[in-house]
Structure 1
Amino acid sequence: MNTKPSQHNVIYYNSLTDDIVKSKQQDFTLPSDYQIIKRTPLNYLMRFLATGFAYLFTYGGMHVKVIGRDKLFKYKHQGYFVYANHTQMVNDVFMPLTLFGWKDYYAIANQANWGIPIIGKILLPYGGLPVGKNIKQAIHLLKAVNTLIKENAHIIIYPEAHVWPYYTDIRPFPATSFNFPVQTTKPSFVMTTTYQKRKFSKRPRITVYIDGPFFPDTSLPKKLQQKKLHDQIFTQLKNRSKLSNCEYYRYQQRKIGGQK
């Protein structure tokens, strides 16, 4: 890395699966009969308004540069999945609306996000797909994903699960994250957020790379399809993450016993 953050910008963690950013309603749970897919005029209105904000915030406020969006054009009218590293609390919610179609974009997210005042109460009900906390909810999610993919939706998955702000590496995630593209035999893309040093600002420049598509190898059993797809996408994320050349936060693992 070219720059080192001050001690005030150090974030301590116990394991790579820690939830660094927690909300006041971290244990928020949706009812079992929660309607995932909403077909109302309000749905389209909220998506339209959110997309307008997304363009202003992502490109006007955050000055994000996206490289490789042309790879999506051929699949504009097909269903697909997108796997991304999770390093921005707000931009990761809004930016996909500008890339994957404001009518077609959905995101799989933990139920705790529905407890967040604005994003969870106003936006997620119209584009969020909640991860199930029990078998019934898991089946409900799988049925919703199958329905949406048949309707050519574009579904983004953050397989690291928890947001680590400005983290410049890729955290491990399970091969089970690739059950959806294997079950539906649909392509997957990779979206990697990277960070570069600026001359006149401590906050780094954000460059996002789109790569793919990656397809399940249907000659293999499904478990091996998941593993192969996992390895391909994890490698692509790791390779792109190396294009980060500065740290806004330095992540440091606590010593045994929880001491810094």
Structure 2
Amino acid sequence: MAERKFYYHHLTDDLVVSRQQDYQLPDNYSIFPTTSASKAWAKIIRLSGGLISLVYVRAIARIQIVGKEKLQLVSDQGYFIYGNHTQPFGDIVLPLSLVPWQNYYAIGAPANWGIPILGKLVLPYFALPVGQNLKQSGKLISAVTQVIQAKKTVVIYPEAHVWPYYTKIRPFTKTSMHFPVALHAPSFTMTTTYSRLHLGKRPRITVYIDGPFYPDRHLDKKQAQVQLHTQISAAMQRRAHLSNYQYYTYQRLV
């Protein structure tokens, strides 16, 4: 029997709301650390995150990762990873078990920067905030470009909001493919699935890596986004069908 039940009106609803949901970053914030102290702290945070990921993935959540070796096909260039957003904590640390701790960046909602401790001492050193106006959006574009050109990795959860243990892929916009198309960079999918264990109530977590997927340079940008969106969505949908256990249930309100 499911442990918790969520009610929603639309598949795009934000069901996990923090007290700082309306938090806004000032226009003069710096995405990357600029001082010697902040750069040193960034290394500490990243290295600590790698160790936490190792313990969490292997010993606590016991996540099985299938297809990790595919990432080596583009290890000499920057790339994107698209994942379904179903673990509030796990989705933060899981990618650190896939890519080197020096290379990991994730795009996140500004509300996360308002969370005590996490938003002040952790996120500023590996996360890239979504812009809330033209100036901030320009900062994000510049930051993502810099990361990819440095042959590092950007993780994107295109569904935007976390739905814990949700077993389907929620709709996401074609514009979420903007960056790989604009930067001619490859993408992978990282699909989290849930299956029943013989013992205990919590499900087995298996993560599937698929790709690489490349934008078609013969198409214009909008057409290339549509094509890449179709490929990314299809890969995630195919893997999501492997889930066979609902630990949490979701009911739509009429």
**Unaligned segments of structure 1, at least 5 residues:** 256-260
The one-letter code sitting in structure 2 at the alignment partner of 1:125 is: P
Deviation of residue 119 (structure 1)? Answer: 2.5
1:145 alignment partner, SS class: helix
Task: Indicate the percent of aligned positions where both proteins have the same amino acid.
Answer: 48
Map 1:37-48 onto structure 2 (within 5 A).
Answer: 37-38=32-33, 40-48=39-47
Counterpart CA distance in 2 for 1:181 and 1:67 is 23
Query: Residue 28 of structure 1 aligns with which residue?
Result: 23
Counterpart CA distance in 2 for 1:193 and 1:185 is 26
Deviation of residue 121 (structure 1)? Answer: 2.0
Query: Residue 133 of structure 2 aligns with which residue?
Result: 134
Map 1:1-260 onto structure 2 (within 5 A).
Answer: 5=2, 9-38=4-33, 40-255=39-254
1:131-155 deviations in Å (ceiling 9; x for gaps): 0000110011001111111101100
Deviation of residue 32 (structure 1)? Answer: 0.6
Q: Which moved more, 1:175-184 or 1:30-39?
A: 30-39
1:250 alignment partner, SS class: strand
Counterpart CA distance in 2 for 1:208 and 1:182 is 25
**How many residues in Structure 1 have an aligned counterpart in Structure 2?**
250
Counterpart CA distance in 2 for 1:118 and 1:208 is 28
**Unaligned segments of structure 2, at least 5 residues:** none
1:97 alignment partner, SS class: helix
Counterpart CA distance in 1 for 2:248 and 2:140 is 34
TM-score for the superposition, normalised by structure 2: 0.96
Counterpart CA distance in 2 for 1:167 and 1:119 is 24
1:11-63 deviations in Å (ceiling 9; x for gaps): 11111111010111001111111111225122111100111111111211100
Q: Which runs of 4+ in 1 moved over 4 A?
A: none
2:190 alignment partner, SS class: strand
1:156 alignment partner, SS class: strand
Q: Which moved more, 1:48-57 or 1:161-170?
A: 48-57
Q: RMSD over aligned Cα, in angstroms?
A: 1.0
Counterpart CA distance in 1 for 2:90 and 2:192 is 10
Counterpart CA distance in 1 for 2:119 and 2:200 is 31
Deviation of residue 67 (structure 1)? Answer: 0.3
1:206-256 deviations in Å (ceiling 9; x for gaps): 00000000000010011000010001100111110000000001111012x
TM-score for the superposition, normalised by structure 1: 0.94
Counterpart CA distance in 1 for 2:121 and 2:238 is 35
